[in-house]
Amino acid sequence: MLVNINSSWQAYLQAEFDKPYFANLVTFVRNEYKNGVVYPPGSKIFNAFNSCPFENVKVVLIGQDPYHGEGQAHGLCFSVNEGVQFPPSLQNIFKEIKAEYNKSIPESGNLERWAKQGVLLLNATLTVRANLAGSHQNHGWETFTDAVIKILSDNKEHLVFLLWGSYAQQKGKVIDTSKHLVLKSAHPSPLSVYRGFFGNNHFTQTNEYLRQNHLPEIEW
């Protein structure tokens, strides 16, 4: 199976691409793009990987579904294209960073600046039908992203995994906590942000751990 993905990931993920479930997933996704509006644009499906080569990964942030509104999703979890209004969860993420670092909220919700510093912004499901949240769940993407998390856990050391909400925390069960830092809290959604996301200090804790392991900190 030929997948348009950064070459640094290819060797680690080729075994997944060659499995029958992935062939079925590709067929499903192609049909969805052919027969309707699907986000993100096809060229951005693997943007999380292409924006953050395997050897650069220091932090893994796990989301669930791409945004399903027009012009929002571009393949990085929680991130939106330039000029797009911040969705509520992203707004709350920036509020927490402001509280931790006393930084003003940025003008752009495009988080490529994080990806370039080694933050893998990984959604559990990499595609979605327009205006239909969860429409591409249970077609194989979750199997693939579970494998990605396990491969990172097995092949790297001193990663920080940010698991916000019960869904992400379930995805994190394959992580080896003896060699990585796993930070858990409520999700930044308005429904749960006051149940432990605000005040979690995950951004400063991440940088403290990176500093302790002689790795460059993230400029949030």
- Its pTM stands at 0.97
> 129: helix, coil or strand?
strand
CB 42 within 8 A of CB 115: no
Rounded Cα distance between 29 and 42, Å, is 9
Residues paired with residue 61 on neighbouring β-strands, in sequence order: 121, 162
- Mean pLDDT, residues 12-31: 96
Nearest to 197, CA basis, from 88, 47, 48:
88
What's the pLDDT band for 3 if we cut at 50, 70, 90? confident
What's the pLDDT band for 4 if we cut at 50, 70, 90? confident
Q: What does the pLDDT look like over 98-145, one tens digit per residue?
A: 999 999 999 999 999 999 999 999 999 999 999 999 999 999 999 999
Residue 211 has pLDDT above 60, yes or no: yes
Rounded Cα distance between 188 and 38, Å, is 25
Q: Which residues are the active-site residues?
A: 65
- Mean pLDDT, residues 72-81: 97
Rounded Cα distance between 39 and 37, Å, is 7
Q: What does the pLDDT look like over 135-191, one tens digit per residue?
A: 999 999 999 999 999 999 999 999 999 999 999 999 999 999 999 999 999 999 999
